[in-house]
Amino acid sequence: MYYSIYATDKENSLEARLTARPLHLARLNLLVDEGRLLVAGPCPAVDSEDPGPAGFTGSLIIAEFDSLEDAQAWADQDPYLAAGVYERVEVKPYKKVLP
């Protein structure tokens, strides 16, 4: 089943985000390699593909896991969480309907 992982960034966390980004992307690429990632990306703080110093307000990941517990355990190991980027992480079951 798919699960959505929505994380909210702490204020002024852009530098920590940029530092931890390679490790964060490496984990996401493992999901890609396993065919389990539906979508992933950050939420810009301003209406722009490249928000520059405005940074981001959070991230959304939708991926396949065996259970809610497995999805939560995966989210709990995110390098952004360890680096202090995320203030809060919410994991919920997700049902893909379209397209």
Give the angle subtended at the CA of 86 by the CAs of 35 and 49, to the nearest 5°.
65
Residue 35 pLDDT: 98
Look at the block and give the residue holding tokens 């798919």: 2
Q: Per-residue pLDDT averaged across 13-25, rounded?
A: 98
CA distance 49 to 17: 16
Cα dihedral sign for 74, 85, 52, 42? positive
Residue 36 pLDDT: 98
Residue 6 pLDDT: 98
CA distance 90 to 6: 5
- Identify the DSSP state of 41: E
pTM exceeds 0.75? yes
Q: Per-residue pLDDT averaged across 20-33, rounded?
A: 98
Q: Tens digits of per-residue pLDDT, 34-93?
A: 999 999 999 999 999 999 999 999 999 999 999 999 999 999 999 999 999 999 999 999
Look at the block and give the residue holding tokens 């190991």: 77
Cα dihedral sign for 10, 15, 18, 19? negative
